[in-house]
Amino acid sequence: MKRSHLIAIAIIAVAIAALIGSLSDSSTYADLDEALANPGREYHVVGVLDRSQDIVYEPSVNASLTEFTMQDLQGRRCRVKLAKAKPQDFERSERLVLIGEATEGGEFHATDMLMKCPSKYNEQNQVGV
């Protein structure tokens, strides 16, 4: 076997390993139903902040804990504990992606959160209306 073949095989092997590695390290998007049905498994849940419920952030108790209620795209609500300080302008957020796991008790414990703020097109639609 020629050396170039060995190199080619090695390259392909590493590339496949990298592909599988990316896939197996990847997380899953899910709705709250699925996340709550599988407590302890990690998910990305997309949803919105439920503004009718309290947002509790008590830095003097713990500066890295925020509690709020989120509603997923199916409309299901769930109380969330986020292990982060309350982001600036959280109340204005338009869309949330929570990363974490549900607990047996039916809460969602998020270790991280991505937040999209309102897009400006909506404001513009109201121009002059």
Interaction of residue 57 with another protein, rule CB under 8 A = yes
Q: With binding defined as CB under 8 A, does residue 65 bind another protein?
A: yes
Tell me which of 36, 72, 78, 100 binds another protein, using CB under 8 A.
100
Selected binder of another protein within 9, 37, 73, 114 (CB under 8 A)? 114
Roughly how many angstroms between the first and final C-alpha of the chain, as a whole number? 75
CA–CA separation, 50 and 60 (whole Å)? 24
- Number of C-alpha atoms within 13 angstroms, CB side, residue 77? 8
* Buried/exposed code over 44-67 (b: 16+ C-beta within 10 A; e: otherwise): bbbbebbeeeeeebeeeeeeebbb
| In the complex, least distance from residue 59 CB atom to another protein, rounded to whole angstroms | 5
CA distance linking residue 15 with residue 22, whole number of Å: 11
Query: How many residues lie near another protein (CB under 8 A)?
Result: 62
Q: Pick from 54, 58, 74, 106: which binds another protein (CB under 8 A)?
A: 58
Distance CA 118, CA 121 (A): 9
Least Å distance between CB 75 and another protein? Answer: 18
Interface with another protein (CB under 8 A): 2-4, 7, 11, 14-15, 18-30, 42-44, 46, 57-65, 81, 83-86, 88-89, 92, 95, 97, 99-101, 103, 109, 111-112, 114, 116-117, 119-121, 123-125, 127-129
